Structure 1
Amino acid sequence: MKKLLYFSLMSLGFMALGSCSLNNVSVDNHLEKYFTANHLKGSFALLDNVHETFKVYNLAQYKDSAYNPGNSFDILTSLVALETGAVTDENSLIQRKNDSSWTLSRAFKTDDTASFISLTDSIGQKTMQFWMDSLHYGNKRITASEAAFWQNDSLRITPDEQLGFTEKVYFAQFPFQKRVQRLVKELMTQESNTLYNLSYKATWQTDKDGKGSGWVLGWEEENKRVYFFTLHAEALDSQADKTALVHTLKAILTDEGFFQGKK
């Protein structure tokens, strides 16, 4: 069942995040079936940047619920690491204890927490806090006692904020060097062919109680148009994982008519 609702910019948080100026939102609850088929529950949003239309499943959770970013925080860490010179490009080696074989690209694509702990140590907590404050990233909170502070619940961000963040990465609208933003944008490329380009960062983590959750953030480019999406989900059972997240995303995008070069 689909409903067309009308919201002000402020009601969806787009004013603070700098997303496009749109005032209509299509709430599509039939997308729930793709979550449950993959043993998940959560929210999804799709922004058509050209036509300024917005589709969302589970609106209340999308705009009001905040979660730890998990390894989706690697996007911000990579931006800061490149900007500050902790690494120089995607092929730079990250200096990990007893292992210097990890490049930024490899660590980013495999969600290697140990590599990103090393990067944040190299950057320094004050510098990370400066950039989180400057970019208004979530609630901007670092727990000094936690090496991977982005995986605990002190740092939290909403799916709405994640979508705004992703859009700014794509358009290089952050106060980083353009080269830095281009490199991180390229790190997110997953599929590229004559019909479409699909870019995303998919992450999954299990908390101390054994509960799994994750994010998929990114965009799809087709016929010179770009569509931004954010998906957050929690496991319904032990069968849910990162692969289930990506399957859910692709099932929804396929249902929306993507991947055929006809959008």
Structure 2
Amino acid sequence: MRKIIILLSLVAFANGNIQAQITNRNTHEVLKPEFGIILDSLKVKGAVLIYDIKSETYYSNDFSWAKMGVIPASTFKIPNSIISLETGVIKNDSVIFKWNGEKRNFKKWEKDLTFKEAFRASCVPCYQEVARKIGVNRMKTYLKKLNYPGMVFDTLTIDNFWLQGKSKISQMQQIDFLERLYFSKLPISKRTENVMKDIMIIEKTKSYTLSGKTGWGMRNDINNGWLVGYLETNNSVYFFATNVEKEETNMDEFPIIRLNSTKEAFRKLKLIE
């Protein structure tokens, strides 16, 4: 029996079962209704999930929502960027994506963009080009290697599977992935890791650095917004994944809601002022 248990454990480890890793941690879940009040005040539904690495504690207003799989949208630009750098599809963060002059959804995409600019502007056409160059086989191989779960695609959907279709990732899984990236636990080069940590910086102050990536997709024909990343303070680091939905919105309002709700949750935990 002992041999069987050991064998099963090794198989689970080899397969990189993320959900098992999350479940088997000696972590705590603390319900924070005040996060829900923040979302209510912004007229959105969803969950803010924050992980305190020191106390191994998750904080959220809705753990059921936080464990639910949702299309990753542009948060997938994090693994997509990693894979592009590791495969050599992108040589460095100053590589330029040439704009072909065609009209795009946003004016900020209608120009030549460096890799760093494309990431921060969340340029979908740029990253569709990257995904096509990576290809189905390499994308699947690297996603398995990175232990990034839930992506479903083939040759027909290689350049949009993170925006529509059956691909899903939960807030819990997002945090697990980000934690492994931050603590150098991903099987990638230090160079790639350093590039990622640089391009992911959103805001830097004297007391904290906020890094991450936004995402905007649709779930059941409702706007679904992501903000995932980590908050570095003077004495620790906190990982977060916010996922919210709003039936009626405009392009200016929704990105602000994702960021404001997350930062307000940080304030409730007294992580920032």
Match of 1:89?
Answer: 92
Higher Cα Rg, which structure: 2
Indicate if the aligned counterparts of 2:120 and 2:199 stay in contact, CA closer than 8 A. yes
* Structure 2 residue 206 is the aligned partner of structure 1 residue 203: no
Shift of 1:173: 1.1
Letter in 2 for 1:122: K
Mapped to 1, the partners of 2:136 and 2:100 lie a distance apart of: 19
The one-letter amino acid of 2:66's match is: Y
SS in 1 for 2:215: strand
Please tell me whether the aligned partners of residues 24 and 53 of structure 1 are also in contact (alpha carbons under 8 angstroms). Answer: yes
Q: Does the 8 Å CA contact 1:96/1:118 hold for their aligned counterparts?
A: no
Tell me if structure 1 keeps the 8 A contact 2:208–2:233.
yes
Task: Quote the offset at 1:96 in angstroms.
Answer: 5.6
Equivalent in the alignment of 1:215: 226
Kept in 2: contact 1:47–1:228 (CA 8 A): yes
Q: What's the CA shift string for 1:165-215, capped at 9, x where partnerless? A: 111111121111111012111111112222111112122235794x21111
Partner of residue 7, structure 1: none
> Secondary structure at 1:149's aligned position in 2?
coil
Q: Residues 18-29 of structure 1: matches in 2 within 5 Å?
A: 21-29=25-33
- C-alpha displacement of 1:56: 1.9
8 A contact 2:70–2:168 mirrored in 1: yes
User: What corresponds to 1:251 in structure 2?
Assistant: 264
% same residue: 22
Q: Shift of the alpha carbon at 1:102?
A: 1.7
**Residue 177 of structure 2: aligned partner:** 165
1:31-90 deviations in Å (ceiling 9; x for gaps): 111112222111121111122222122011212x11110000000010011111111221
Say whether the 8 Å CA contact 1:94–1:119 is kept in structure 2: no
Aligned mate of 1:38, from 30, 42, 47: 42
Give, in angstroms, the shift of residue 121 of structure 1: 1.2
Do structure 1's residue 133 and structure 2's residue 144 form an aligned pair? Answer: yes
The counterpart of 1:224, out of the listed 215, 235, 254, is 235
Q: How does 1:58-97 map to 2 (within 5 A)?
A: 58-63=62-67, 65-94=68-97, 97=100
Gaps of 5+ in 2: 1-16, 102-109
- Mean Cα deviation higher: 125-134 or 237-246: 237-246
Q: Secondary structure at the match of 1:91?
A: coil
Q: For residue 185 of structure 2, what is the amino acid of its counterpart?
A: Q
Structure-1-length-normalised TM-score: 0.85
SS at match of 2:36: helix
Q: Which amino acid aligns with 2:162?
A: W
- Give the Cα–Cα distance (whole angstroms) in 2 for the partners of residues 206 and 76 of structure 1: 20
Equivalent position SS for 1:151? coil
Note the aligned Cα RMSD (angstroms). 2.3
How far apart are the structure 1 equivalents of 2:27 and 2:147? 23
Q: Is the CA contact 2:89–2:130 (under 8 Å) kept in the aligned structure 1? A: yes
- Confirm or deny: 8 A CA contact 1:40 1:233 kept in the other structure: yes
User: Distance between the aligned counterparts of 1:67 and 1:208, measured in 2?
Assistant: 10
TM superposition shift of 1:18: 6.1
